[in-house]
Amino acid sequence: MSLRKRTIRDRYDDLGGRVYDMRYTEEQRLKYESMLTEVRVRPDDIVLDNGCGTGLLFEYVTAYMVGLDVSIKLLSKARDRAKDVVQLVNGDSENLPFRPRVFHSVMSFTVLQNALSPARMLREMDSARHGDGVLVVSTLKKSLSKQEFIELFIKSNLKIKKVVDTENINDWMIISE
């Protein structure tokens, strides 16, 4: 693991689940609600939450889910939220430990800006999703311009279905099919 990735992991481990939730719950809720009006997730789908943090998304999706995060401490808090249909994995968003084409939907909220190679992270997520699956990605507006975010998808050969830019949300969000 690179020094930068260890630093990111350690920062989230130090933050811990309680502080993470206090800081990010409302912001994440707005993103989830915005995107889930655009994306249909069926109860029999398999969904990857890539960079799940404390598992805030689990409350919004009724499908079988896999939550992946680099931080053991955040996953510990996610375990408290995990339903019977949620599995947790400690791992790297740029090197997903899954077979290709496993997930119907792959979602990643506010993780891309932490990637050493955002293009690699997008390719990994694209590889993990089923052929007709949906890819949902958000990144902080302060980390990339809207045009840079769109160009990243285009350079990664991903088809953009919709770009979501909501005033009260600090992220750009893209749905790719």
Domain that holds residue 87: 3-176
Q: State the pLDDT at residue 161.
A: 96
Q: State the pLDDT at residue 84.
A: 85
Q: Could you give the number of structural domains in the chain?
A: 1
Q: Give mean pLDDT, residues 105-117.
A: 96
Q: State the pLDDT at residue 52.
A: 96
CATH code, domain carrying 153: 3.40.50.150
CA dihedral (92, 153, 98, 30) in degrees, to 10, reads 70
Q: State the pLDDT at residue 17.
A: 65
CA distances from 87 to 39, 53, 63, 166 (A): 22, 13, 12, 31
- Answer yes or no: pTM beyond 0.85: yes
- Model pLDDT for residues 3-28, shown as the tens digit of each residue: 777 787 777 677 676 777 777 789 99
